[in-house]
Every structure is written in structure tokens, then in C-alpha cells.
Amino acid sequence: MKKIAIVGLGFVGAAMSVAIASKLKKRKEKFIVYGLERNNKQGKDICNSFTNGNFPFDTTDNLLIKKTAEVIKNKNLVVTTNKNCLSDCSIIVIDINLDLKKFNESLKDYKKSIIEISKFLKDDVLIIVETTLPPGFCNKIIYPIIKREFVKKNKKIEKLKFVHSYERVMPGKNYIKSITDYFRVYSGINNQSAIAAENFFRSFINTKKYPLCKLDKLEESEFAKILENTYRTVNIALIEEWRSLGEELNIDLFRVIDAIRYRKTHKNIMLPGYGVGGYCLTKDPLFGKISSKKFYKNKFKFPLTQKAMNINKKMPITTLLKIKKIFKNLNFKKILLLGISYKSDVSDTRDSQSKLLYDYLKKNKSILTLHDPLVKYWKESSVDVLNKLPNLNEFDLVVFLVNHDFYKKINFDVKIKNKKITIFDANGVLNKKQINQIKNKRIRLLFNGR
Ligand SMILES: NC(=O)c1ccc[n+]([C@@H]2O[C@H](COP(=O)([O-])OP(=O)(O)OC[C@H]3O[C@@H](n4cnc5c(N)ncnc54)[C@H](O)[C@@H]3O)[C@@H](O)[C@H]2O)c1
């Protein structure tokens, strides 16, 4: 029987394990996928959730919910906190996190994890590292650790197959399909490794429609991931920089950008927004600098990337200042914040930019109500979040912060009666029809970028 393990069942690994288990099910060869988590509270909670047939994170992807129940029931996916499951696996996918915050601690932790994993490896195993890493990390840190452990145990390192491949998983409505039906980049330490990975990817990715992209060196795959997210980061900062002039000129930047997008080469120019949050865009672009510092004596600086990161970090301040301008005194003002997750249609609240506004308003003693269709409890702020939309008429100010689909269905003709309310669409959430509904009621409506 073929045994495959996914180490780390976070937002990436949890979906990967279900994606693999549900696709392999259709093949003749018998197999089992192990999902390995840490033996701590978080790890045990994730495993318990899976064992009960539930995906461990709230998601709007019904296919993923259905597939999770199926693969657990049929025992195609078995989750555990016991590392012994690794010992006879022929493929191990590493989906553990390397964080930017407290980097040295996280690095120590990551290395320790690799040492632990190495102790259980068969010598001809295929290791696929999916963690987003500072370029150079696989060759300079991970592979040497495994090699040392192999030498200690008299195992042949030549047989080991080692690959880096990065995830482009998007935990929204098409969460599982963003793994099985999407382009995949990878590179192996040698040809044999790349071929093994290619065969594996073909077993669960729709490669006919989404051909695989093989790069030559491990560093190239690591680099591609970082550059991809840095490109996005700089693109966002560019629009944020131009937003202020647009507002001064009373320009609708959304329409201007639509016009620019007619030009094929400019289709992915960003729209103005409220802020940049989440685990990846707040971390990945700075991995270039870390690579330079760790491996190249700080030889390479990244002034443009750093500047873009600074601009993006400050973005929520614009919203905050606009609110301050209207409500000179926020004391006891009833304010509804709509959207707590870091982006649309996900339940992930890591580095959510809603926090900056929440903290500011809380400090100013506003009476705050929080709503998000996908978040029940905001871990980072230790506060409950409503899933049912409250009566909008009870608030002085309603701020749309996250572009959830749910908010696009609000009918303001029906929902709004109180003319004194102020609505602030801080993130391009409302559609034309909704904007007109609000404007027709002569209610004060604010935007970023319009
Ligand atoms: N979240 C995304 O949308 C996304 C997208 C693309 C790439 N990535 C990258 O993928 C990697 C994982 O991201 P994530 O969002 O899933 O992170 P995460 O923090 O949600 O998940 C990591 C999981 O690994 C577990 N873990 C850590 N050490 C372990 C060990 N020794 N044994 C078993 N389990 C262990 C943790 O308990 C955690 O549950 C990161 O490098 C991230 O940058 C994330």
C-alpha cells in the first residue's frame, strides 16, 4: 500500500491532504494519506475536527466540506499527532510554517521540525517542501539537516528525492480547486526528484488543463513564490500612492482602472482598498531581505519592496482619518465593522487589517459591533463576532472592510431607514446598484478611491 504524509494541517496542509486523498481514491492502487499535526492544543483541535468529518477551518467551499467528510469516512485520510506514521511513507509533503514575526524563534522551530521528521524517513522517500522560504533555504538549511541525519543512521542520501514546490492555494469559494485545478511550479534537487514529483502532481492535479511548470534549481521555485507575492505587493502600493491625488481630483479610481484594464498587458492592475493583511503578503516580500542577510552578508537591498510594504502597512490610516474627520468625537458612537477576516470569503484572521481600525475605535470608546459571515470568534482581539447581520439602522456608522460576497447581497432599499447613518465602503465592497440605493436615500456615503 502506498503511504503519503502531509506534515502540518494549517490552511495549506489541511486542504492539500483532502485534495490528495480524494483524487487518489479514484485510482486502482491502494493508498493512505496521513495528515500529521503537532501534539499541542492547536494540533489536537485540528485533528479532532477532521476525525469528526469536518474541515478544521470555516470555509465557503462546499466541495471541500463534502470531500473532507468522504475521505475521513472511507479512511483514505487519517489524521494523527504521532510521527511514527512517517516511517514507511514514500512521499512526504511539508506544509509547516516559517514565520516572519519572531523569525529567529520560528527558524529554530522549523529546523527542529525538519530534524524530527528526518529521523523517520525511508532513504528513497520523496520530500516535497511547500513552505514559503527565503530563497536558498532548501539548499542551505533543510537539505543539509536531512543529510546529517541520514549520515548518522548510515542511510544513503543519494536515494532521497527532494523537491520544492509552492502553493497558490486560495482559501475562498474554490479552495480545493485552487489546488487540484491550478498551475503548479516545482523544482527538484536532481532529475530523479523532479520526475518523482511530476508523477505525484499528475495524480491529483488536472495537468491537462493546468500544465506543470518545472524549474531547474530549488532556488528558482523558492524565488518564484517570493517574487510572485512581491509583484502583488508593489502593485497594491502603486495604486495606494495614486489614490490620494485621485480623491483630491474627485475621480472614481475604480472606473479609471477599469478603463486601464482594457489594455491586455494591464489587466491585473489593482483596485484601491482598505489595507493589506493575511499571512502571506505581510511576510513573503521581506523574505528577499532575509535571504540576503542570512546567506549573502546583506549584499542585496530591496528598497522598492520595503517602501511598498511600508505604504501598504499604513493604508488603514486613511480610513481612520476619514472617520475622524466626520466624527470629531468618537466617544459612545455606535459603529458596526463589517468584515474581520483578512480577505473576502475566508475565515482566516491572521494579520487582518480590520484590527487597526478596531483598536483605534475601541481606544476612543466607541461602542463597537463586529460582523463577519465566516468568523465566530476573533482570536487576535479576543472578541466574539456576529454571523447574522444586525439592524443597520441602529448605528451611527457602518464600515465595510472586507469584500465578502455576503455583503454584495444586502438590499439597502429594504435595510436602511435611518437617514442619519453614515456608510463607509472602505474596500470597494458595494456594487453599482447598492451605491445607487444608498445615494437615493440621501445618506452620507464615503469611499476609498471614489
Ligand atoms: N495560507 C495561505 O493561503 C498560503 C498560500 C500559499 C502558501 N502558503 C505557505 O504555506 C505554508 C503553510 O501556511 P499555512 O497558512 O498553512 O500555515 P499555518 O500556520 O496555518 O499551518 C502550519 C501548520 O503546521 C503545523 N506544524 C508546525 N510544525 C509542525 C511539526 N513539526 N509537525 C506537524 N505539524 C507542524 C502547525 O501546527 C500549523 O497547524 C507557509 O509557508 C505559507 O507561507 C500559505
What residue's CA is closest to ligand 1, atom 24? 8
Q: Which atom of ligand 1 is nearest to the CA of 42?
A: 37
- Do β-strands 383-384 and 377-378 pair in parallel, antiparallel, or remain unpaired? antiparallel
- Do β-strands 444-447 and 422-425 pair in parallel, antiparallel, or remain unpaired? parallel
Of 26 and 273, the structure prediction assigns the larger pLDDT to 273
What residue's CA is closest to ligand 1, atom 7? 167
Lookup: cell for 211: 500544465
Look at residue 348 and tell me whether its pLDDT is greater than 90. Answer: yes
The proportion of the chain whose per-residue pLDDT surpasses 70, expressed as a percent, equals 99
What residue's CA is closest to ligand 1, atom 38? 10
- Count CA atoms closer than 13 A to 261's CA, side-chain side: 11
Mean pLDDT confidence for 274-290: 97
DSSP three-state, residue 297: coil
Q: Options 3.40.309.10, 3.40.50.2300, 3.40.50.720, 3.40.50.620; which CATH number does 316-447 get?
A: 3.40.50.720
2-215: CATH topology is Rossmann fold (3.40.50)
pLDDT of residue 418: 85
Sign of the torsion angle spanned by Cα atoms 113, 133, 8, 119 = negative
274/240 Cα distance (integer angstroms): 9
Mean pLDDT confidence for 289-307: 96
277/346 Cα distance (integer angstroms): 12
The residue whose CB lies within 8 Å of the most ligand 1 atoms, and thus the one to mutate among 111, 113, 185, 279, is 279
Q: Do domains 2-215 and 316-447 have the same CATH topology?
A: yes
Look at residue 334 and tell me whether its pLDDT is greater than 90. Answer: yes
407/387 Cα distance (integer angstroms): 12
Q: Could you tell me which of 324, 358, 325 has the C-alpha nearest to residue 339?
A: 358
Q: Which atom of ligand 1 is nearest to the CA of 133?
A: 41
Q: Could you tell me which of 178, 189, 254 has the C-alpha nearest to residue 221?
A: 189
238/235 Cα distance (integer angstroms): 5
Mean pLDDT confidence for 233-238: 98
What residue's CA is closest to ligand 1, atom 10? 131
Look at residue 98 and tell me whether its pLDDT is greater than 70. Answer: yes
CATH code, residues 225-314: 1.10.1040
- Give 13 Cα–ligand 1 centroid separation in angstroms: 7
| CB-based contact 449:272 (threshold 8 Å) | yes
Q: Which atom of ligand 1 is nearest to the CA of 109?
A: 28
Beta strand spans in 37-170 (E): 77-80, 91-94, 126-129, 161-166
- Give 446 Cα–ligand 1 centroid separation in angstroms: 37
What residue's CA is closest to ligand 1, atom 27? 96
DSSP three-state, residue 398: strand
DSSP three-state, residue 35: strand
The residue whose CB lies within 8 Å of the most ligand 1 atoms, and thus the one to mutate among 39, 57, 97, is 97
Q: CA angle, 59 as apex, 54 and 63 as ends, to 5°? A: 75
- Give 97 Cα–ligand 1 centroid separation in angstroms: 4
Instruction: Label residue 254 exposed, middle or buried (CB < 10 Å: 0-12, 13-18, 19+).
Output: middle
Mean pLDDT confidence for 206-226: 97
Helix (H) or strand (E) holding 244: helix 218-248
The residue whose CB lies within 8 Å of the most ligand 1 atoms, and thus the one to mutate among 7, 18, 40, 95, is 95
Report the pocket of ligand 1 as residue ranges, CB < 6 Å: 7-13, 36-38, 42-43, 95-98, 113, 116, 130-132, 167, 169, 171, 279-280
pLDDT of residue 167: 87
Look at residue 30 and tell me whether its pLDDT is greater than 90. Answer: no
Q: Would you put residue 423 in left (φ > 0), alpha (ψ -120 to 50) or beta?
A: beta
Look at residue 126 and tell me whether its pLDDT is greater than 80. Answer: yes
Q: Per residue in 147-185, pLDDT tens? A: 999 999 999 899 999 999 998 999 989 999 999 999 999
The residue whose CB lies within 8 Å of the most ligand 1 atoms, and thus the one to mutate among 6, 7, 9, 11, is 11
Name the pLDDT band for 26 (thresholds 50, 70, 90).
low
Q: Which atom of ligand 1 is nearest to the CA of 96?
A: 24
DSSP three-state, residue 49: helix
Name the pLDDT band for 437 (thresholds 50, 70, 90).
very high
Average pLDDT, the chain: 96
What is the pTM for the complete model shown?
A: 0.95
The residue whose CB lies within 8 Å of the most ligand 1 atoms, and thus the one to mutate among 6, 7, 9, 12, is 12
- Give 284 Cα–ligand 1 centroid separation in angstroms: 13
- Give 95 Cα–ligand 1 centroid separation in angstroms: 5
| CB-based contact 134:99 (threshold 8 Å) | no
Task: Enumerate the domain spans of the chain.
Answer: 2-215, 225-314, 316-447
Beta strand spans in 343-386 (E): 367-371, 377-378, 383-384
Beta strand spans in 8-76 (E): 31-36
Q: Which atom of ligand 1 is nearest to the CA of 170?
A: 3
CA 135 to chain centre: 19
